Amino acid sequence: MFVFRKVVDLQQFLQSQRKLNRQIGFVPTMGALHNGHLSLIEQSRKTADLTVCSIFVNPTQFNDPADLKKYPRPIEADIRLLTNAHCDVLFLPYNREVYPKGKLTKVNMKFGKLNKVMEGQFRPGHFEGVVQVVNRLLEIVEPDYLLMGQKDFQQFSIIASMLEQLNSKVRLRMCPIVREEDGLAMSSRNRRLTKEQRQKSVLISRTLKKARKLLKTATVAEVKSFALEALAEPEEFKPEYFEIVDGRSLQPLEKINPGKLVVACAAVWVGEIRLIDNMICQNEQILYPE
């Protein structure tokens, strides 16, 4: 695997690959890699000729400085995982490469109601930072494909909207959530959970699963109140939101329309760690045809 720390070096290499007609798949990450990330690498390898993964803990998307400071950075283990996953290129930029002094990188774009709910409501400024860094990374890498996970469902929707607004040729692909054996969605934050918190955190995916089932017979309001109550039960658990949303507009639904993509989304504090998860409740084939 090639490792580049500077934009010029990466771009020079990618230019040589484009001349060989190689299509580039790009997987942006913040490191602390797990099987969820590796599934994106795998999908990229199936989709494109060359896979570029970036590891950059983007300071502009953290609304909580303590979270940024504590964000895990196990770079040696990450390099090993990427090498074993046959990733072709790791872009591990210095801060100044992503945000050079004097370069305007902020993106002035409107997302309507997409970024006002859920993560947008509870993490002010978060999506501005995500859009800024993804846009900048796309400008650097210029990939043919961009692969992102369903785990950050709202992030995916906002990046899809960004690409649409930019009239971008980059093809965005969603990859399903990868779960631990007990159902907990894989996340870089899971490694910060204590053993006891980790065991209890399975409740999040179990509640989403129950909610999905319950939605067939109960009202949205009933399902929401069941889920919020269940997620508040264990000591140290504080649900921030539980929403049943339209999978396109991300707006909370009051009732279920059979033709629509419906997604249940949750954010829960487990002690000092904030976990998010989601589950598609209806019309999954809209996202994953076949």
Please tell me whether residue 36 binds ligand PAF under the rule CB under 6 A. no
37 is annotated as an active-site residue: yes
Mapped onto helix, strand or coil, the DSSP state of residue 35 is helix
Work out how close the CB of 198 gets to ligand PAF at its nearest, in angstroms, rounded to a whole number.
20
Task: State which of residues 133, 158, 185, 267 lies at the interface with ligand PAF (CB under 6 A).
Answer: 133
Beta carbons within 10 angstroms of residue 20's beta carbon: 8
Long-range contacts formed by 95-102: CB under 8 A, 24+ apart: 95/59, 97/5, 97/6, 97/7, 98/56, 98/58, 98/133, 98/136, 98/137, 98/140, 99/60, 99/136
Interface of this chain with ligand PAF, residues 50 to 79, rule: CB under 6 A? 58, 61
Please tell me whether residue 190 binds ligand PAF under the rule CB under 6 A. no
Please tell me whether residue 28 binds ligand PAF under the rule CB under 6 A. yes
Tokens of 263: 């997604």
Work out how close the CB of 217 gets to ligand PAF at its nearest, in angstroms, rounded to a whole number.
35
Work out how close the CB of 102 gets to ligand PAF at its nearest, in angstroms, rounded to a whole number.
22
Handedness of CA 8, 56, 119, 287 (dihedral sign): positive
Work out how close the CB of 31 gets to ligand PAF at its nearest, in angstroms, rounded to a whole number.
8
Residue among 34, 37, 86, 126 flagged as catalytic: 37
C-alpha to C-alpha distance for 228 and 230, rounded to whole angstroms: 6
Please tell me whether residue 30 binds ligand PAF under the rule CB under 6 A. yes
Please tell me whether residue 93 binds ligand PAF under the rule CB under 6 A. no
Contact by Cβ (8 Å): 266, 185? no
Catalytic residues, by residue number, are 37
